[in-house]
């Protein structure tokens, strides 16, 4: 198993170095960015397993970084905040952070929380790495590719994440709200119908029978059909 990759976005060099060193000791692969834009860039290129994110940053702040990262793909985010004010916390969680720590913090606690987040994430993605098969459809999370009867089908990022979540739990019904929360990373009631559009795309590309509509509730894939 290749080492987990962690991106640290932190503008104070001393803290960044300390965090990076401590995490490398845990055999993580760690890369550091010093401002918002390069942090987003780094995340898009490395596709890390976790991001440690300071709230106060040059360029644009941690909240914006978090939003942009999460928009690309779901990844656990550990936020570092300077103040303990509750509004900061809540706003932080609003953008999709999974945990937070208030400075100053012990590196020991940081390590513990990182491990906890990674464990939670890997547990949530069960079965991880395995190719999922639903009828004539194959979904490979490692390469983010899907096949239909052996032929590769191009899926957009959202289409793939949506399919992967549904296919990971065959026959289980997901509400639009749940799908928005878990795939999109936010849950705006007004955009519930956006899910429908992507379901349409999936059906067009992979066959209308793949996704089952559960009237009044949501969608599911697989099962006996």
Partner DNA sequence: CTGCTTCTCAACGAAATCTTGACAAACCGG
Partner DNA sequence: CCGGTTTGTCAAGATTTCGTTGAGAAGCAG
Site residues for DNA per CB under 7 A: 44, 154, 156-159, 184, 188, 190-191, 193-194, 196-200, 203-204, 208, 213-218
Short-list 76, 83, 115, 77, CA closest to 102: 83
Residues forming contacts to a second copy in the complex (CB under 8 A) are 1-2, 31, 42, 44-46, 72-73, 89-90, 93-94, 99, 113, 116-117, 119-120, 128, 142-145, 152, 156-158, 169, 171-173, 175, 177-178, 181, 187, 214-217, 220, 223-224
Q: How far is the CB of 82 from a second copy (least distance, A)?
A: 19
Judged by beta carbon distances under 5 to 8 A according to partner kind, the member of DNA, a second copy, none in contact with residue 128 is a second copy
Cα–Cα dist 80/154, whole Å: 37
Q: How far is the CB of 148 from DNA (least distance, A)?
A: 16
143 versus 190: smaller Cβ distance to DNA: 190
Pair of tokens at residue 119: 């464990």
Q: How far is the CB of 158 from a second copy (least distance, A)?
A: 8
Judged by beta carbon distances under 5 to 8 A according to partner kind, the member of DNA, a second copy, none in contact with residue 182 is none
CA dihedral 42, 179, 194, 166 (to 10 degrees): 90
Question: What angle (nearest 5°) sits at the alpha carbon of residue 41, between those of residues 4 and 79?
Answer: 60
Judged by beta carbon distances under 5 to 8 A according to partner kind, the member of DNA, a second copy, none in contact with residue 178 is a second copy
12 versus 172: smaller Cβ distance to a second copy: 172
Judged by beta carbon distances under 5 to 8 A according to partner kind, the member of DNA, a second copy, none in contact with residue 117 is a second copy
115 versus 203: smaller Cβ distance to DNA: 203
Find out whether 155 and 162 touch, Cβ atoms under 8 Å.
no
Judged by beta carbon distances under 5 to 8 A according to partner kind, the member of DNA, a second copy, none in contact with residue 223 is a second copy
HSE, CB side, 13 Å, CA atoms: give it for residue 12.
13
C-alpha dist (Å) from residue 103 to 1, 55, 81, 108, 114? 33, 11, 6, 13, 16
Question: What angle (nearest 5°) sits at the alpha carbon of residue 132, between those of residues 115 and 158?
Answer: 75
Cα–Cα dist 165/171, whole Å: 11
142 versus 208: smaller Cβ distance to a second copy: 142
Q: Backbone phi, then psi, for 224, in 5-degree steps? A: -75, -15
């Amino acid at each position: 198993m290749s080492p987990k990759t962690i991106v640290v976005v932190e503008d104070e060099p001393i803290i960044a170095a300390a965090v990076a060193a401590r995490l490398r000791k845990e055999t993580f692969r760690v890369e550091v960015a010093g401002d918002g834009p390069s942090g987003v860039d780094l995340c898009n290129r490395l596709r890390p397993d976790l991001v440690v994110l300071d709230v106060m940053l040059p360029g644009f702040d941690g909240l914006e970084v978090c939003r942009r990262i999460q928009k690309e793909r779901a990844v656990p985010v550990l936020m570092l905040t300077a103040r303990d004010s509750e509004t900061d916390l809540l706003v932080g969680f609003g953008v999709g952070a999974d945990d937070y720590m208030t400075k100053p913090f012990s590196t020991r606690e940081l390590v513990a929380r990182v491990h906890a987040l990674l464990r939670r994430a890997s547990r949530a993605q069960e079965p991880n790495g395995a190719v999922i098969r639903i009828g004539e459809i194959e979904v490979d999370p490692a390469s983010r590719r899907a096949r239909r009867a052996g032929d590769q089908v191009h899926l957009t990022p959202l289409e793939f994440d949506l399919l992967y979540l549904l296919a990971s739990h065959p026959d289980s019904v997901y509400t639009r709200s749940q799908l928005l929360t878990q795939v999109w990373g936010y849950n705006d009631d007004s955009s519930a119908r956006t899910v429908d559009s992507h379901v349409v795309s999936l059906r067009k590309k992979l066959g209308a029978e793949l996704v089952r509509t559960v009237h009044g509730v949501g969608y599911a894939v697989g099962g006996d059909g």
